Structure 1
Amino acid sequence: MSDAAPPRPWNHNVHYHRLVLREVPPHARTALDVGTGDGLLAADLRRCVPHVVGLDLDAAVLARARAAAPQGAWVRGDALRAPFAAASFDVVTSIATLHHLPDPADALRALARLTAPGGVLVVVGCAASSEPVDAAWDTIGVVQHQVLSRTRTFWEHTAPTVWPPPHTFAQVRDAARDALPGVRWRRLPLWRYALVWRRPADERVSSA
């Protein structure tokens, strides 16, 4: 009988967990994963942040996350009206959730409101291609998917999906720059983008 650990599940979202984890500040004590789905990113965050909350609106997928990790903190709620006080979390993350929401700028402002001074908001999202540069990224994504899906254990998540995304990469980029002054934006392969925003340590957050 083999004692080898089962292979780690992989998909386009799991692929970017390491990108998210690299942005976690050393002082972080609390984290919120918005649109947590099956809870895999929340589980990874728990390895470096003492208290992690997974938030999702879908009751069924949240129940599966809770069953897989009963020791975790799981909350059912809407990302735009999350039941937490302003500036509650040192880290706020979200993967493949923003395109489920009607207005990217409103969604990003809601997530930024939950981010504590000195904390970080990290979003990895999906969007639609619309510009010539997107075609190059899409080609890279196809090649990367073909290679990685042959060398990884591909896993299909159980959370609800929205496809195609309703907003283009350009629209989300512009919304992020409007909602989050100083945001870092990156286009990624595998049909994703990443944005990282840090709230200044001396900035006060309104509770309104």
Structure 2
Amino acid sequence: MRKRPRFLSADPAESPRWNHNIHYHRLILDTVPADAQTALDVGTGNGLLAADLAEIVPEVTGIDVHAPVVETAKAESSDVQWIVDDVMTHPFEPGSFDVVASIATLHHIPDVDAALRRCAELTAPGGVVAIVGLGRTSRPREMALHVAGLVQHQYLSRRRGLWEHTAPIVWPPPHTYTEIDAAVARVMPGATFRLLPMWRYIVEWHKPR
């Protein structure tokens, strides 16, 4: 039976840290195949997603270019292999991971197509890519969703408190949601792209066997 990830309890006493990224860990974790043995957290930041993945996947690697934030990540789990490097150039073998996950990282990479191709390359046949990211609004329905997200943000941040991460920030995101959706369709045929409240989207792609 899978353990309960540490940052997802409905009880604030059990899950003391909350922010928009932690809020969406569950969506990524729900994509993990039951038989997954290896996972990569791209742009691991403070390491919270990697630590949650390590609760359900035997071998987890977290990679980030920012050495100081990886030092903080090491305190989250001794079961994760932490790497300071650029995922775009690190010498991972293609198809090394059953799960390639990322949260709030894709907008740090200027070439979104190249970033998606790299995630697909590193995923084993039958594995999954799960990405929660940020984009810019360009259509009325996106703006309406994020207005609703603002209400959700205010409620949850008052109830839970807002935990501030220490990873570098890129703002505003360089790509619109429309541009990211188009890139996903080009690079990962059959992937799903869905907008989320609180200024996020999710991509889920299962690599053919």
Q: Does 2:105 align with 1:92?
A: no
Cα-to-partner distance string for 1:47-89 (whole Å, 9 max, x where unaligned)? 1100100000001101111134344210111121232100000
Matched, 1:29 2:37: yes
Residue segments in structure 2 that go unaligned for 5+ positions in a row: 1-11
- Partner residue, 2:194: 186
CA distance in 1, matches of 2:189, 2:15: 40
Letter in 2 for 1:164: P
Alpha-carbon contact 1:54-1:74 (below 8 Å) kept: yes
Kept in 1: contact 2:59–2:79 (CA 8 A) = no
Q: Is residue 2:54 matched to residue 1:46?
A: yes
CA contact (8 A) 1:11 1:155 kept: yes
* d(CA) in 1 for partners of 2:75, 2:29: 24
Which residue does the alignment assign to 1:206? none
The counterpart of 1:14, out of the listed 22, 31, 35, is 22
Structure 2 residue identity aligned to 1:19 = L
Give the stretch that moved more between structures: 73-82 or 152-161.
73-82
Partner of 2:167: 159
Structure 1 42/25 Cα, relative in aligned 2: closer, same or farther at 3 Å?
A: same
**CA shift in 2, pair 1:134/1:5, >3 Å:** closer
Deviation string 1:139-160 (CA, Å, 9 cap, x unpaired) is 1111110111111132000100
Size of the alignment, in residue pairs?
A: 198
Q: 1: distance between equivalents of 2:201 and 2:50?
A: 20
Q: Give the distance between the partners of 2:61 and 2:179, measured in 1 at CA.
A: 29
Compared CA separation, residues 157 and 78, structure 1 to 2 (3 A): same
- For the residues of structure 1 that align with 2:190 and 2:14, how far apart are their CA atoms? 41
Identity, % of aligned positions? 53
Aligned counterparts of 2:76 and 2:181: Cα–Cα separation in 1? 35
Q: Give runs of aligned pairs for residues 45-124 of structure 1, distance below 5 A.
A: 45-124=53-132
Against the structure 1 CA distance between its residues 5 and 137, is the aligned structure 2 distance closer, same or farther, given a 3 Å change threshold? closer
The Cα offsets for residues 142-183 of structure 1, whole Å up to 9 and x where unpaired, read as 111011111113200010000110110000110111111111
**2:79 & 2:189 partners in 1: Cα distance?**
36
Quote the residue 2:135 is aligned against. 127
SS at match of 2:35: coil
Structure 1: stretches of 5+ with no match in the other structure: 202-208
CA distance in 2, matches of 1:148, 1:134: 21
Contact 1:81 1:110 in 2 (8 A): no
Q: Distance in 1 between matches of 2:205 and 2:78?
A: 31
- How big is the alpha-carbon RMSD for the aligned residues of Structure 1 and Structure 2? 1.3
Larger Rg belongs to: 1
Q: Judge conservation of contact 1:55–1:75 (CA < 8 Å) in 2.
A: yes
Equivalent of residue 169 in structure 1, options 172, 177, 183: 177
